[in-house]
Amino acid sequence: MTSLRRIKIEISVAALLFFSGIIFGYFSAVHFPEISKIFEMMREIMKPVGEMSRAEMMLYILINNSLKTFLAIVLGVFLAIFPVFFLFSNGFIIGMLYELTKEKFGLLGYLLAILPHGILEIPALLISGALGIRMGYISIQALRGMASFREELRGALEAYLKLIFPLLLVASFIETFITTLLIGL
């Protein structure tokens, strides 16, 4: 399994992209109120999820997050374009949602909606993004004969199975059964 110490630079880059996305999303929503149309589109897309049973909702959240984090790793081989977009856009949505919901829910309500499951989900996103960034770097190094792509991919997939997926499993449970109670859904 790829050691987290071995990818600490990539984790730092992933965190920078994610938190830059939060800031950019927040200020975009502040300065461009029409961005709320994106929020409304997201609500429409997610409406069927709210009508699911709790077990179906948990499975939906788990599959959605598992697929995206897996793709962030695997598609990182293409110059890390997908993981960079994945990290920034997830941050952007979090920042945008805060600005668009702060009047209704306030900071405490927003944090109650994000933190219980986010404590596990955000590290899973950052680690998968970091592994995807690493795969982009390694794919270039492998073309030059300077790294073993297969070994790196094996380590990244092992990290996915042993660390990222379990974090997402617990986070999806918390998001479905605890976060929804905290925010009154």
- Quick: pLDDT tens for 113-130: 999 999 999 999 999 999
CB 134 within 8 A of CB 180: no
* Residue 182, pLDDT above cutoff 90: no
Where exactly are the structural domains of the chain?
5-182
H or E element that contains 56: helix 54-74
Place of tokens 């929804």: 180
pLDDT at 185 over 70: no
Quick one: which H or E segment has residue 149? helix 149-159
Amino acid type, 122? I
**pLDDT reported for residue 152:** 92
pTM of the model: 0.92
On average, the pLDDT of the chain sits at 93
The more confidently predicted of residues 50 and 74 is 74
Mean pLDDT of 126-142: 96
What is the arithmetic mean of pLDDT over 69-73? 98
What proportion of the chain, given as a percentage, has pLDDT over 70? 99
Q: What is the mean pLDDT of residues 10-14?
A: 98
